[in-house]
A and B are shown apart, each in its own frame.
Chain A
Amino acid sequence: MGNIIEFSFMYDSFWELLQYVPITLFLAVTTMIFACVLGLLNALIQIKEIPVLKFFAHSYVLLGRAVPTMVMLYIVYFGLPVFLMAFTDKTGIDTGYQHISPIFFAIVGLTIHTGAYLSEVFRSAILSVDKGQMEAAESIGMTWWQGFYRIVARQAGVFAVPLLANQFLDLIKGTSLVFTITVVELLGGAKIACADDYRYLERYLVVALIYWGISIIFEKLFLLAERKVGIFQKGI
């Protein structure tokens, strides 16, 4: 090992580590989908000011954003099984908590964390649309939901997409924390491999490069999405 950085080794470990990319992407994409649903519902509850629920929605945004991602993962990983165990004890319904894969807890933890941020993204996006748009929709006899789906949401999308891109890029990198709850993804795979040969620097550089590549691909994809949802603004 004459050189500090051996490029042929980096090249080999790049191909080795690629096998963990699907799991990282799976974590990020699945979490994003669930978090979008959760965030959008949460934002709508606040905007529609649904009694009782709006209190929970508001608390969730406050608390969800106040807890570090890793702490959230620990709470879910150690807390949820206990909760399910108690549930099984009380009701006799078997939840199968002993066999739940850690990846499930990882997705739940990341979703709770990301959903709180997305809730604010969606809320601000919806509020960015001029109030007159919904009034116009209602004035021609559309229901609130028709007006929301056909008019307001489409315009809010233009505002939301860049923020969603931000959040998603953050989330991709956030998945590197789930190794702490035993899910072997990109960083986890690298760590395990390092335990054999102690070549931390080179392998972590490769990991960084892979994250970089993934991020660039998604940045481009989100840019395309942004153009697509904003097609009606062409020329502004």
Chain B
Amino acid sequence: MARKLSFLLAINEAMHQEMARDESVIVLGEDIAGGAGGSAGNDEAWGGALGATQGLKTKYPNRVLDTPISESAFIGAAVGAAAAGMRPIAELMFVDFMGVCFDQIYNQAAKFRYMFGGNAVTPVVIRTMYGAGLRAASQHSQTLYPLFAHIPGLKVVIPSNPYDAKGLLIQAIRDNDPIVFFEHKALYELEGEVPEESYTIPFGEANIVREGSDVTIVAVGRMVQQSLIAAETLAAEGISVEIVDPRTISPLDEDTIYESVENTGRLVIVDEAHPRCSFASDVGALVAQNAFHALTAPIRMVTAPHSPVPFSPSLEDLFVPSPEKIAAAVRGVMNAKAGARR
């Protein structure tokens, strides 16, 4: 029986192993050590907002930098350090804070290589928490990866389980391009089999999480877990669901999505982001352009609404795509006919 580890500890282990392997790997962010800059009290009292960086400061005191609350400065410093020989992992505590440092990500890190004629590498990883479910209200709950996936030069990684979290993070740290690595808050406790040894998962290779023949669901991050629950319910009704988890949305493994849709003829995309100009709309458009002939029913998207994330627990529960909503969408495409009105 393979060892089980939580999503959180899988991420922690990936950083430990890469810091041991490569001295140029550094970690910087707010409250990632003691929560007091490491200069007072216990260095390991905190270890990041949810503890992902626990134990790193004690082991690598010079390479773990607890920063001021100053995202523009420390994300920018990570970008500059990357261009000057390091492999920084910067923790942007909540992706909602991108607003105060986005220039360093999309105008600087993403463009160095291209804008400088291929002469620069910027191997920086920005780890960030996303997603609703913690009653954290509008400014600490968003799912903003579509904004990053839109930018050429950035790679966008969204693990859905502990095994992928470790392998994808190690790949990200070794990659020479700027990476934004999205960790869903509600997944940190999720347990799964994670090998102790170091391993990588290549970007742009989707994982077929569950095989099926009637409907393809494409989902990332926490939505993969929600879709798995829905698929169980649907299986009991005789509907066979295939779940494709692209794992990275930039680069995107389009081929695996098309192949799955060729087999099932039906597509439901599940995305916790807002519906407009999103991952869901992107996949929908790609399939409509490149695999339309295979579709026997209209494409359906199950997404959060076009509204900020509400605080009220009852409203937040309505905001996040639920297994029930996903199952309903699947039943909908099973009953629909291509060309029929909605």
Q: Do A and B bind each other?
A: no
